[in-house]
Structure 1
């Protein structure tokens, strides 16, 4: 299982890391050395280091808990001993299908099985299940059920950009109304593990960022 670790200093996020659980014991999660998302380098967290941990459960929900490093151990590879949470310490964030964030991202959508022109636009919102984009209102011949390829630029909090590419199916064409622009909604089709992790991680980051702004 993949874990995301976020460390804090003076109440501010200090760093984010990715690691995997190598083994579990009664009291500990044995994890490989975390990789810093910004630098791509492995990091040795010191004994007593406290941090937040999040992961995607088998049920598709995002969970988080706080933990700390209690030591290290040599298995087939060197591992760190992370204090194992009890089931009462796990906090369910929200099902990934419904983690929707309002955000403007550059996106290019290209029909896969026709000579129809691509749509270069921006998102209105995005989630683990799909996205809504601004329609340029130029007649392109799109219709519900069309399968397309979407390329989205995802800017992460660690100051790097990632290109998310996935097949999407057009669900609805919605006309402009009042102050809202015309828009098109799409759902993602058959995301693989890497794609799913990519989009959920981004939505989760934005959700936490918006929550911090609301809470001051």
Structure 2
């Protein structure tokens, strides 16, 4: 499903500035063409300030459809148009590049990412993710740490995007399963128990980029 005229588009702009990359803007879709989508200048509702976009800016976006379904896609600025108001032209995604997100249908991608884990508020260790998605994470941990299904973890995940920017994502998760490996380490599978929409969107953006890499190989 593609966005339609008058729908609200929620936007985050890829930036090397970590704080800037976290800001969510809103824009109204003014027109949908064959190859592009025209949107109004995005606004930060918290400050009331408009966001100036430049040609080539990479955007992580979503729009909401019936039942609160969030539809995510990545795009970039391809031009500008002077109408009654100034409009911004962004690349129209292919329908298969729009991912519907609901709690039971998050897709995951394989990824080796650094993860800082705190268990029971005391034990801290570093791990490497096995896969990641909008609904949870799987990671490999040293077998010396005593962890079991049902344990709650506080985690910081380091994400690296294609444009070289870096994000840190904080979330709490619950261990669903611990699988011992022949190497003496454990594969730990978790589902998110407490994560903000903003933090989840960062992970989904990363997954989109990784999924597109797989498709283009």
Matched, 1:110 2:118: yes
Query: So what's the TM-score if we normalise by structure 1?
Result: 0.67
8 Å CA contact 2:113–2:158 kept in 1: the answer is yes
Matched, 1:147 2:157: no
- Give the C-alpha shift of residue 196 in structure 1: 1.6
The residue aligned with 1:60 is 70
Q: Based on CA coordinates, which of the two structures has the bigger radius of gyration?
A: 1
Number of equivalences: 183
The residue aligned with 1:131 is 137
8 Å CA contact 1:148–1:167 kept in 2: the answer is yes
Matched, 1:32 2:41: yes
- The match for 1:171 among 172, 176, 193 is 176
Matches within 5 A, 1:1-216: 1-3=9-11, 20-25=25-30, 29-32=38-41, 42-45=52-55, 55-58=61-64, 59-63=69-73, 69=79, 71-73=81-83, 79-82=86-89, 90-96=95-101, 97-113=105-121, 115=122, 117-140=123-146, 142-177=147-182, 182-212=186-216, 214=217
8 Å CA contact 1:20–1:32 kept in 2: the answer is no
**Matches of 1:154 and 1:89, distance apart in 2:** 25
Q: Which runs of 5+ in 1 are unaligned?
A: 7-17, 35-40
- Give the C-alpha shift of residue 195 in structure 1: 0.8
8 Å CA contact 2:171–2:195 kept in 1: the answer is yes
State the secondary structure of the residue aligned to 1:169: strand
Q: 1:23 to 1:84 in 2, by over 3 A?
A: farther
Query: So what's the TM-score if we normalise by structure 2?
Result: 0.66
Q: 1:72 to 1:61 in 2, by over 3 A?
A: same
The residue aligned with 2:18 is none
- Give the C-alpha shift of residue 186 in structure 1: 1.0
Runs of 4+ in 1 over 6 A off after TM superposition: 51-54, 64-67
